[in-house]
Amino acid sequence: MSKRNYLKKTTRTAFLQLKAGQHILFSGIFYTARDQAHQRLVNLISANKKLPVNLENKIVYYCGPTTARSNQIIGSCGPTTSLRMDKFVEPLLKKGLLAMVGKGRRNKQVRTLIKKHKGVYFVAPSGCGALLHKSVLSAKTICFNDLGPESIQEITVRDFPLIVAIDSSGKSIYEDTE
């Protein structure tokens, strides 16, 4: 059995140490955002307007959690397909975004941008949203309330399972299939 790697610091220095293929258990804060929230953030950036969330050294989780039951903090919160967010990556990385979490491969341009901006792309276990919600300690809506489950939420997680899919040097777990 491999050694578990725990990650609790969301600093660029800590993330520079991560290597493609590494399995970690993350404890900290994610900001959930899917297609519509990304489009709104990019529109605000293009219009030189203030963002409702500071992206500097933050992690965006490509997720639209379902409504929580009365005894839950959050509903199912599995990752969505990352490729759909590729067109939004550059402006967000320029705003200081540290990492992204989703599922599946990214295009070559995103890999280049991750290397240029010293970011990281993680994959979370797909098909496990009902189980992943158990790692969530708190959740609150930050902005874009009208988007419902696609609003941006700040979620605090403990021991959330991730795999480094693209590290800050641009190495990818998908290299052999590209």
Residues with a catalytic annotation lie at: 38
Strand partners, 32: 61, 153
Residue 85: count other Cβ atoms within 10 Å of its Cβ.
Answer: 22
pLDDT digits (tens, 9 = 90+) for 20-72: 999 999 999 999 999 999 999 999 999 999 999 999 999 999 998 888 888 88
DSSP track, 8-62 = ----HHHHHT--TT-EEEEEEEEEE--HHHHHHHHHHHHTTPPPSS--TT-EEE-
Whole-number CA gyration radius for the chain: 15
The tens digit of pLDDT for each residue in 112-148 reads: 999 999 999 999 998 788 788 889 999 999 999 999 9
Beta-bridge mates of residue 83: none
CATH class of the domain defined by 5-169: alpha beta
